[in-house]
Structure formats: C-alpha cells, structure tokens
Structure 1
Amino acid sequence: METSQTTSLAQSLYCAEQLQRSEARAGEAAGYSLAQLMSLAGRAVFEQLQHRVGAGARIAICCGEGNNGGDGYIVARLAHQAGYKVDVYALKANTKLDHTGNEPALQARQACRELGLTEQPLLDCLSCSPDLVIDAVFGIGLSRPLEGELAEWVRKLKQSRVPVLAVDIPSGIDADTGTVMGEAVIAETTVTMIAYKRGLFTGASRNHVGHLVLADLGVGQHFVQLEKSDWRRVTDNPYPWLGERPIGAHKGDNGHVLIVGAGPGMPGASVLAMLAALRAGAGKVSVACHPSNVSIIASQQPEAMVHGIEQPEQLTSLLDAASAIVVGPGLGRDEWAFNIYRACMAVNTCKVIDADALYWLAHDPVQSSQLILTPHPGEAARLLKCRTQDIEKDRFAHALSLHNQYHAQVVLKGAGSLISSSRGNWLVDRGSPAMASGGMGDCLAGLIGALVAQGLAPAQALTAGVYWHAVAGEEAGAEGVRGTLASDLMPIIRKLVNGWMPE
C-alpha cells in the first residue's frame, strides 16, 4: 500500500534511530502488533512486485536474519500462493530456528518452510535465472560495510543486470547519510516503510534507490506525531512567496542585482548569472567585471548594464545601488579578484557567494546571515578545511556545519541538494543528470540573486532558487541528458517564476 501522502509525511525525513525507537509505538497507536506491521510491509512489497512482473515469473527472494528478512519471507509466501515461481535465498540458509529471537521474522520464515520453500545460499541467487530479485537482506540497521561473500553477492547482482526490488533500503546503503558501505545493491525500485529515511535522498544513494515508494502501513501519521523531523523535503511550488506583480509595478520595484566577477579571460560565468537574474524577474541587472570583458558581456544581452572595474573604489556606487549582489562567477584568484571580493564583503547588502568568491571566503572568512553560500562538495571541503570525501560521507552534518560556522544560508549542492538556513533544514530531491555540465551553478547564483532583489528573505530565496533551478534542469534535459546547457534553463526559469509548474 502506498501512503496517502499528506504534506507532513511527504516532507518529513528521519534517521534510522528514530524508526527503531518509535515504529512499534506508532503501530500500537494504530492498533497493529509487530507481526501485523511485518505482514503489511510484506504485502506492500508484493503489490509492487505485481506491478513489475506478471504471475508465473521467477522471483529470487534474498532474505537476511532480521525484520528486513522477515518482510522478504512474507513476500515469498504471498508470491508462491499467487502462482509465481519462487526461490528463497538466505543469509544463513537452512539454519535451525531459535524461537527466543525475533518472533515475527521467525514465524514468517517458518511459514515459508512449511510451504516447501527451501532456502539456498545467498550467493546462488542468480542460478535460477530470475526475472526479478527481492533484496530483503539488510535494512536500516546496517552499521558496517558489506565485505567478503556479501560484497561478492552484491557484485554478482550488479553484473547480472537483473532488476532488483529493495525492501526498505538497498542493502549496503547507510540510512542516515546515503553513503555506500563497501558495496551496495542497485535497485530498480525501493519500497520504504512507515516514513522516509533521509539517506535515501542524497549523495551516493541516488544511484542505488531507483523509483522510491513510501508504504506508510497505516501508521505514518502516528509516527510523525511521535518523532520530530530535523530535515524536510521541499515538495511544494514556492511561487506564492513571490506572488502576483502589481499592475502599477515599475523596474525599481523589482530590485537591482549586481553581478561581480568576470576576471580576465573568464566572461562566460557572469554572462550566465546575468541572464538568469534577468529571466528570474529582477528589475535591473548590472555586471561589474574586469575592463577586458566589458564588450564581450555587453554584447550578450542589451538589457544588462556592464561596468569595467580596475580598482575596488570604482565599485562603491554600484554596491550602494544594489538590492542584491552575486559575487564570484568567473572572478578569478589573483590580486584584482581578492581586492574586488573584499570590497563586496564590506557592504551589508545580501550577497550570494559562489565559485571563486567561495575560495576567497575560505581564506578570508566572514560570518553573516546576509550571506548565501552555494558550494559544491569540493568548495564545501575548502570552507570546512576537510576533504571532499569527508563531505560526501555525511552531507547532512557538513551542511549544518557550514551554516553554523559562517552563520550563513547554505546550499550544499549535488544529487539531493541540502539547504541549511535560518528557516530550517531542507532537502531538494529534484534535478537531472542533464545538469552535470558547466555553468549550472552560475545560473543558480543569478536566479537566487534575482529572488532576493524581488523581496524574498535570503533563506526563502535560496530554497525557491534551488528548487526552481532543479525543476528547470529536469525540463531542459527532458529530450536527453547529454548536451543540455545552462543557457537552456533560462526560458524555463522565466515560466517558473511566473507560477508555471510541469505536470
């Protein structure tokens, strides 16, 4: 069964400890025992199985020793009774059952044996040439990397390319961080139980989860009453934050964005930020750049105003006139760039800090709630003085660290971008691999700057900007993920900031 998808349950993200602590209590509140919850979970997976393969198909069901395995044994029984060809593979095949342990899981396993479904070793799960594999080996409680025979089992599944339906979470994925622990199953579909686990939505897990189905088992709303969610998904179009533009509006009502960047030989990034700011609705957009780039940038869009800056003193009037400042696209890392950066940081106007400005921020730190930081993992590592792989091991913790250390509004970009801000912690699970091309970050920076200029609070502008940028990337990449350009997002951004959303 799929959840009713109320807003609270659809947005809320939890860690494994919360599920382990309160799933039984949520079940009790709904009038279910643990055995009944397990039965409901198995049925939810079986229903997804039916959507993917017809009766008579051969199903290899891989089961572990805990509750996840119990769910798998229930699927095996239901599939067998429905006419599927079922083969059961166990982590510890044909072991003597000790009924002092996990009783519901043991009962489910015993029921399979009574039906004549014998258990075979896990590594043999492809010997039956299955049409579908059910991964019910490890759930959210896994705390160690998969090694030895378990790692070999995962590698065989990957090489086979047989579709996998994962129970709760693909085996080998950390439920809290989304990292791969040694090896991890790549699922075509994952059916997760009761509530969303936050690790399913970001980092490496995005390559393993496949289509995600939430089966709340009729207890999800009880669970959200018991446990607070520290991270939430952005699920609604943020257009109401901007609202309708008054009939009598003029350009001065809609803000002035100043793009500061474009050092010698690097005009392109500032052009993209400029175009995004214009298409996102800013009343005026100016670009402050190295004098060598003025003619190049000015030729790209006549509506923008372009100023050559040799000395930081020349920025003063431009900074004073700006409603929002975007610092960094193509700025560079030479003395000119540093002096320009310092001049921008001296004013109190809200600033989007991107690209090379993040480099300078790491070397010359500033703390302010008026800063909006947009790092990718490598830039985040520089800001926190750690390694990129450290960031990716726990994106949630490092997004929070950036917010706390710089007192800023922060997005940690990547698959499942994380926003840590003064208005809460959010995850944007939109976007497309089509966005894996140069200039996308410059486009995002200009978009956010325009939203600030039009009156959104920094945290609001960041959240709306990241969400719309991701949706625009999906639409731009709809005809194929290869060859999509950042400039392809511009007409879509224009539609999004006017209230349009794809169906």
Structure 2
Amino acid sequence: MLPLLTPEQMRRADMAAIECGVPSLVLMENAARSAADILQKWLQPPSASSPTVLIACGSGNNGGDGFALARHLACRGWKVMVWWTGSREQMSPETLTNLTALEGLGIPTHHLPPGQLPPPPPPAEVVVDALLGIGARPPLRSDVLPILRVLGSLPARRVALDVPTGLNAETGEADPEAFRAELTITMFAAKTGLFLNEGWHLCGRVEVASLGVPLNLAAAHADTWALEWDDIRQRFPLRPRISTKFDYGRVGIIAGSAMMAGAAALAANAAIRSGAGLVYLYTAGRIHSAVLPEVIARQLPSTPEGWLAAEALPLLHELLERVDALVLGPGIGVAAVPVVAELLRSIPERLPTVIDADALRAITPDSRIPSLWVLTPHIGEFARMTGEDRSHVARHAPWLARQWAQRWGGVLLLKHVPTIITDGKRSYWNL
C-alpha cells in the first residue's frame, strides 16, 4: 500500500526526517535529483539531444525544489531557463541557497517582480511549475496568474513539482486557471488532493520523488492508503493441491426480483469467480440463464409483482445458519425493504455481511451496525442514507465516508472516484 498524505501530515513527516538527522537542504537536494531522474525517464526519447526546459519557481520550498531541479538538469546537458517570483527575503535558507547556486553557476534566471508581466518565453520542450507548494489553496494570487497563463500557452510538455499550482493538495479543489500537468512529480509521498475532484484532471501521471529517507517515515503519519495490486494478490494465496470446494467457504446471496434477475446473476457469478467454495443464491425472481451452473440457486416466495415476500423469511433464516458470509440487496427492489429490515435483525453479528443496492434503504442515519458488516453505497445512495446533499458528498467524499463509518460502525465502501473503504479510523482508496 502507498501512503497518501494531507499537507499537514506531510509537514510532520518532513519534520520527522529532519529530527532523524537529515538536514532540510539534503532533503531538497535528494528530491530534486530524484525528480530529474523521473523527468528524464518520462521524456525518453527526447525530441532533442539537449532538451530545453523552462522552470517557473516561487519563493517557497516548492521553488527551492525547482531551483535544485534546474541545476541537476543543467548538469545532464539540458538547456535550462528559470523564472522566479517573490523576493529573496521570503525564501527559506534552503531555497535561497539553491537560487544562489544557480546564479553562481551561470544558469540563466529571470526575476519577475509583482505586477510585472513575464517576458516572451524561450522555445521550450518542457515547462515545469514549481510556483506554489502544498500549502497554497485556491483562489490563485494575482501575481501568479500571468505566469501560469504564459506557461499554459506554450506548445510544451507540462510538469508540476509536488502539486500543480492552484490545486488544493488536500481536497483536490482547484482554481479555474490552475496549472494542468501531464506529469506531477510529488515529493516523498502522494498527496490526497492529487486523486480527488479536479486533481484527476490537473495532475496527469503521478510519480513520487524520493527524499533519500525510508518511506516508513511518511507511512507513520498516514491514515489513508492507496491499494496496489500486490495488496489484493496477498489475499488470494495459492491453494493446496489437496483441497476441495468445502475448504473455501460458503457464501449466501439474497438478491434479484422478477424485474432485476440479472443483478442476482452478476452477484452470484462474482462470488464464484472470487474463489468461494459454495455459493447459494436465494432469489425472488426467476433464475437468470446467465447464472453459472456451479451456483446453488433457489427461488423464494414472492409477491404477485415479483418482489421478495415476507413468507420467505423462514427460508432466509435457514440460509443464515448455513453460510460463512452473506450478500444482501442486489436487484431486490424498493418493495422488498420491509422484509430486508426484518431480516437484518436476525443476522448474527459474527456473520460478515455485505449490504448493497436497495437493502441500503433499511439503514438510517441512526442505525448501528456490527463491525463485520460492509455497506456499499454509491454517491446517490449515500446521500439518501445520510440526508447529505449529493453534490456536497461528491466533493467531500473521503471525510464524510469516514465520519459516517464512525457513526454507524462497521465498514463503509463508497463507490466513487476513487473508491473509498473505511472503518472510520483508516481509509483505503482504490485508484
């Protein structure tokens, strides 16, 4: 798993590295060297033997990263031009050291005082945005806008250091004129805002530059993680040659109705393909022809309209005693919610249970659920369950998901971009 940090968590991780004895100037140097490696590899093969790059730097530490990157690229034969804004008095010692080094080495730099328009830009194959770092929030300052407009007008590849200027590194909200990158080289660990809201559109490909310290320093400050393929593979170990279906669990699926038999088929087939040994499908609808023959399917008593009927409850109670995990809800329809609400009171707390689709209508803002239950709403269902405004949910999904998971208990899997899985304490995102 990869740690995803907020700006505040990133500051604490930086301080932890410094407290371990790694000076801030060394961290900046390592970040710039790693960024140069990433940039050079990304541009391969370059259109010219000596690529030309224009780097726009601010006076904060993001600008310091840009100054150091300029030096490393110049050492590799790149033709480098640096624009910088702000003042030397605003710079940290590390940022000022790297600007002074550029000037001492004769690498071209041009200062842009506040209110002064940028000069005609040189022809550049790549432009790099190192204007504002993770501490900046929209709206953009007036002194930065003219520079961004010039950078955006150039027919060049676009790269952002740490985060694109104009993007909130925590929430992914952005100024309308934020820098739009093809590649974002973020420092030490990815930031949450790169994968939320406008972050998806502004960051392009995201690569993480090393600060030359172990990643566990960043991980120690994270409460949000991005899932990787290896995290999933580890949960599907190789099976012993001598084993049978009875060794791999029994899944019960209560799904479907006369109008939505396909939902039951999809759920049952997915359970088979995920590796369950025995899958029991109990459905009020017809058994769809797409249901795999391995599925043990049973039709339940239904209403004249084809919805799950209360007369099915004794059979469902028997199913609860037979299975090791339960899926409840796909395709059951709104009319079945009273039966679902009654059934929920009978599910043993020991039984891992996924509640999906219209079964979620039985969950209210005041509900409390066992720790082994998983609620799987999409944004619209989640808004209905909580009474929150849908657009508010869409823009603040990670924080609302964590808040409501704490309130309900259990696990919440919010189907969004990204998919958010949380128990209220830690969150895992499927990017």
TM category (shorter chain) comes to: 0.7 to 0.9
The secondary structure found in structure 2 opposite 1:398 is helix
The secondary structure found in structure 1 opposite 2:422 is strand
Opposite residue 230 of structure 1, the aligned amino acid is D
RMSD: 3.2
Of residues 278-287 and 63-72 in structure 1, the stretch that sits farther from structure 2 once superposed is 278-287
The secondary structure found in structure 1 opposite 2:363 is helix
Call closer, same or farther: CA 1:241–1:37 in 2, change over 3 Å: closer
Opposite residue 10 of structure 2, the aligned amino acid is L
Contact 1:278–1:284 (CA under 8 A) maintained in structure 2: yes
Matches within 5 A, 1:81-120: 81-92=75-86, 97-98=88-89, 101-113=91-103, 115=106, 116-119=108-111
Deviation at 1:276, TM superposition (A): 0.4
Contact 2:31–2:212 (CA under 8 A) maintained in structure 1: no
CA distance in 1, matches of 2:413, 2:186: 26
The match for 2:369 is 367
CA distance in 2, matches of 1:363, 1:221: 39
The secondary structure found in structure 2 opposite 1:220 is coil
Matches within 5 A, 1:351-362: 351-362=353-364
Opposite residue 326 of structure 1, the aligned amino acid is V
Deviation at 1:330, TM superposition (A): 1.8
Matches within 5 A, 1:313-462: 313-318=311-316, 319-320=319-320, 321-334=322-335, 337-346=336-345, 347-348=347-348, 349-362=351-364, 365-421=367-423, 425-430=426-431
Opposite residue 267 of structure 2, the aligned amino acid is A
Call closer, same or farther: CA 1:253–1:113 in 2, change over 3 Å: closer
Opposite residue 312 of structure 2, the aligned amino acid is Q
The match for 1:13 is 4
CA distance in 2, matches of 1:162, 1:108: 25
Call closer, same or farther: CA 1:48–1:270 in 2, change over 3 Å: same
Contact 1:362–1:382 (CA under 8 A) maintained in structure 2: no
Contact 2:148–2:179 (CA under 8 A) maintained in structure 1: yes
Opposite residue 219 of structure 1, the aligned amino acid is V
CA distance in 2, matches of 1:120, 1:257: 65
The secondary structure found in structure 1 opposite 2:109 is coil
Contact 2:247–2:277 (CA under 8 A) maintained in structure 1: yes
Opposite residue 139 of structure 1, the aligned amino acid is G
Opposite residue 71 of structure 2, the aligned amino acid is R
The match for 1:166 is 160
Q: Deviations for 1:31-57, whole angstroms, at most 9, x for unmatched residues?
A: 43x233323322222233322145422
Call closer, same or farther: CA 1:110–1:316 in 2, change over 3 Å: same
CA distance in 1, matches of 2:119, 2:278: 63
The match for 2:36 is 46
The match for 2:286 is 294
The secondary structure found in structure 1 opposite 2:18 is helix
CA distance in 2, matches of 1:156, 1:286: 62
Opposite residue 5 of structure 2, the aligned amino acid is Y
Opposite residue 315 of structure 1, the aligned amino acid is L
Call closer, same or farther: CA 1:197–1:262 in 2, change over 3 Å: same
Contact 2:118–2:150 (CA under 8 A) maintained in structure 1: no
CA distance in 2, matches of 1:384, 1:72: 44
The secondary structure found in structure 2 opposite 1:315 is helix
Deviation at 1:130, TM superposition (A): 2.2
Deviation at 1:148, TM superposition (A): 5.4
Contact 2:163–2:185 (CA under 8 A) maintained in structure 1: yes
The match for 1:26 is 17
TM (norm. structure 1) is 0.71
Deviation at 1:151, TM superposition (A): 5.6
Deviation at 1:395, TM superposition (A): 3.2
Call closer, same or farther: CA 1:124–1:49 in 2, change over 3 Å: farther
Deviation at 1:410, TM superposition (A): 1.6
CA distance in 2, matches of 1:264, 1:125: 69
Matched, 1:186 2:170: no
CA distance in 2, matches of 1:16, 1:378: 29
Please list every run of 5 or more consecutive structure 1 residues that lacks an aligned counterpart in the other structure.
Answer: 1-9, 431-503
Q: Deviations for 1:103-125, whole angstroms, at most 9, x for unmatched residues?
A: 22123334444524223589758
Which of these residues, 299, 303, 308, is aligned with residue 307 of structure 1? 299
The secondary structure found in structure 2 opposite 1:302 is coil
Q: Aligned pair count?
A: 409
Structure with larger Rg: 2
The secondary structure found in structure 1 opposite 2:426 is strand
Contact 1:170–1:209 (CA under 8 A) maintained in structure 2: yes
CA distance in 1, matches of 2:39, 2:250: 54
Which of these residues, 201, 209, 219, is aligned with residue 203 of structure 2? 209
Tell me the percent identity.
30
Q: Deviations for 1:216-271, whole angstroms, at most 9, x for unmatched residues?
A: 3212357348x432223334344554545455644444333232232342222221
Contact 2:337–2:358 (CA under 8 A) maintained in structure 1: no
The secondary structure found in structure 2 opposite 1:146 is coil
Deviation at 1:68, TM superposition (A): 0.3
Contact 2:326–2:352 (CA under 8 A) maintained in structure 1: yes
Contact 2:365–2:386 (CA under 8 A) maintained in structure 1: no
Call closer, same or farther: CA 1:125–1:162 in 2, change over 3 Å: farther
Deviation at 1:273, TM superposition (A): 0.9
Call closer, same or farther: CA 1:246–1:70 in 2, change over 3 Å: closer
Contact 2:370–2:410 (CA under 8 A) maintained in structure 1: yes
CA distance in 2, matches of 1:49, 1:351: 46
The secondary structure found in structure 2 opposite 1:48 is helix
Of residues 58-67 and 349-358 in structure 1, the stretch that sits farther from structure 2 once superposed is 349-358
The match for 2:305 is none
Opposite residue 33 of structure 2, the aligned amino acid is R
CA distance in 1, matches of 2:93, 2:145: 28
TM (norm. structure 2) is 0.82
Deviation at 1:392, TM superposition (A): 3.5
CA distance in 2, matches of 1:268, 1:126: 61
Contact 1:167–1:192 (CA under 8 A) maintained in structure 2: yes
Contact 2:366–2:408 (CA under 8 A) maintained in structure 1: no
